[in-house]
Chains A and B, each alone.
Chain A
């Protein structure tokens, strides 16, 4: 397990090197050895790592469960959420799973929009798992406070948010903080095995890519009587771009990240089309239910991407590529197949969920002071997905750099239960939705 030369500064390691090195580090180690190291650390030292959970929904609670499973010497000591009810439920469930590793007294249970700061200040390691719109601010706060961080994907919802994460990621490196990002395919054995082969040239130069997240709408929380607009949007956050990023950002990022991983780079521009055809009602907010995007990479190769939230259509969540010497297909996690002169099929059994697996190298890095910072690639893959959204919302070709340097902030100026979110329900009972090609809309898109 080698790490990049520590004397090299950020600017000396270009992005390509950085990615090559980190993927090699991860690919070169089996999960088993991580498990052994984590256990070894437990026996060898008496250092308890104090964990804070920011965002106590199902996924945040899951991540905390996985962290506590990965390292027996981690203790959950603080929690934060905007909902006291979510926090209590989460605490109850985590206590049931890990009775000896959960100790969150009432004065360490923080509720409200500023709760994250108080919880972060008490911990060594923080899990950031609120709706993505809050991530840049929470990440900055955790970096400023000098904490190790596991943050869920996506890490932002707009250009300014991605820039904040990139800037904080640099500071995190200078401070030697360890940062993990919940793009769990990066830690999933069959993906690691497939990528190792692709990067060794198994299908030659990759010249054409496809990827999909075609499925149905996940949960919808209808407006309840008496809710303020802010309460409704927070409760039903998936359907508001300033909180979720749209499903192309919140879900499809996984597949786009795999393509970036294959290409060891990021697209330079994108064009696309999309809309909302099946679920036009106020409970489904302002996001599209389908996007089709063409991403262009620096070498001129293109990735055709689809994501859809319409039931009854063709469904798939997968990535595919054609190279000069063969093809690769990941069939919805069931099959990983390379065809061509280096034909190969993944035959291993996946014995651990990738959501569990991603915590081992993270805690190993913390315990044994190894370089570990997934924030930059997490931010740039987040940006890839945001670029796709800008392309489908606008109907124009959007340059990656223009998207990244956009000044458009989607969140309201102040965050409180009385705040007025920018999307407002119209007199027709619907939230306005971007109209591709309409110049008036453009300033609300890029």
Chain B
């Protein structure tokens, strides 16, 4: 976890350790870049900005450049250098909160210190250095602090984008993440039923793969490849907004803290699978991607994963039982050269999915329950999802570049473990990274049927990451 410190705490400290702050500072020359710019960027520019965007700024007033700010808005000039009393940029912030013209109208009012700084800056001539432009900024969101409004916004976007009316219309498609050149391919997975788990006769089969039971699955699309760093880093490292660039729903989704260590461990990034993320991080990626694209993306359930991996087959692997052919389809301990490989280089399975066996193991939504299949032995199940009640273990599928062939079998299961964070030297440990799980990635699915906003939220928050 990164360190967070709030303005409030710093201010308390400053008060405790020094002379009263406001009087001491007011006498000094106020600096635009370090003292005024943050006040405007965090409190004003979101509404009073974006002249290039679709929406015009509130009240016709834009504060994102010197020229626009001094030009004023529909109600006239807002900054009169040398005269704070005649400058609404200051006076609107010290009105009673009930006043219609009180600024900012939403969120916390400015502190006394901030209004005094604005006043002093205008008093001292409102020096705005040439060429300095402002960008709307938001205080760092708390983990999981996304509000209901964001969810509603994402849901509305998904509804607006629409889905095919029936499974028959589902086609493979390529999606470009908006605002980037990054694309990923999605393959249609037809509805159907299959035998989940493995027969007792399967070599190297483990007890958690049984009993075999019938499972019915609704249609969805699945990522043809594992999510790569090209995609995942867009989420890890969001680009700062450019002046005038409009806010979008995806901005409100929490982003991972920046990792201290280098997360590819020298294995390569461009075209390589993203690794070492927690299930919470993978889920939040899906939420972010849904907000970006307007398509509902989530992790597969364990049943959906195995159904797609088998692709109609009943053998140990989707190409049959002959382990000697594994190298044509998968990266694993014998051929991986001790690291993961670029996605999509081996032969796909019958439904056009690459690297379901091997390369990186993949997250599913389900809690890993070793004897969880028993309850479905008699009647089977439809779209089962073993909802998590605790952070560990979650079910991970497909095996990886580190594993021997038996762990790559369609039915093989593995549970996540707290020790996958062993190398995180901090306390609390990050909710975003499993630094030790360098074998672990994920792929996304998109169900044909879009569930209610409440259900969307359940899928995206199944991580149970508060430990």
Contacts and interface: CB of A to CB of B under 8 A. Distances in A.
User: Does A pair with B?
Assistant: yes
Contacts of A316: 262, 266
A427 interface: yes
Nearest to B262: A215
A333 B25 CA distance: 50
Interface stretch (B12-20, B172-180, B212-220, B371-379): B12-20
A154 B305 CA distance: 46
A332 B7 CA distance: 38
A225 B38 contact: yes
Q: Classify the interface of chain B: helix, strand, loop or mixed.
A: loop
Contacts of A223: 34, 38
Interface residues of B, number: 65
B265 A332 contact: yes
Nearest to B24: A418
A227 B7 CA distance: 7
Contacts of A332: 262, 265-267
A334 B339 contact: yes
A333 B265 contact: yes
Interface residues of A, number: 66
Interface stretch (A171-179, A201-209, A229-237): A229-237
Given A86-B3, A353-B422, A226 B117 contact: yes
Interface in A222-260: 222-229, 231-232, 235, 251
A135 to B, nearest CB: 17
Contacts of A64: 427
Of residues A97, A224, A355, A426, which shows the largest number of chain B Cβ atoms within 10 Å of its Cβ? A224
Nearest to B113: A226
Contacts of B107: none
B2 A331 contact: no
Interface stretch (A42-50, A54-62, A264-272): A54-62
Given A219-B258, A315-B266, A318-B266, A226 B11 contact: yes
A58 B427 contact: yes
A227 B427 contact: no
B18 A418 contact: yes
B145 interface: no
Interface stretch (A4-12, A77-85, A141-149): A77-85
A333 B426 CA distance: 18
A306 interface: no
A216 B229 CA distance: 13
A112 interface: yes
B1 to A, nearest CB: 5
Interface string A350-361: 001101000000
A224 B37 contact: no
A111 B12 CA distance: 11
A423 B216 CA distance: 64
Interface in B261-277: 261-267, 269
A93 interface: yes
Interface string A397-435: 000000000000000000011100000011111000000
A213 interface: yes
A94 interface: yes
A217 B140 CA distance: 17
A299 interface: no
A231 B427 contact: no
Contacts of A62: 424-427
A194 B17 CA distance: 50
Contacts of B338: 331, 334-335
19 contacts: A64-B427, A83-B13, A111-B16, A215-B262, A216-B262, A218-B259, A221-B140, A222-B38, A231-B13, A318-B266, A332-B266, A334-B265, A334-B266, A334-B438, A335-B338, A353-B422, A417-B14, A417-B17, A428-B129
Given A219-B3, A425-B33, 15 more contacts: A83-B5, A93-B428, A112-B17, A215-B263, A216-B259, A219-B257, A221-B2, A224-B7, A225-B110, A235-B5, A331-B265, A331-B338, A332-B265, A335-B338, A429-B33
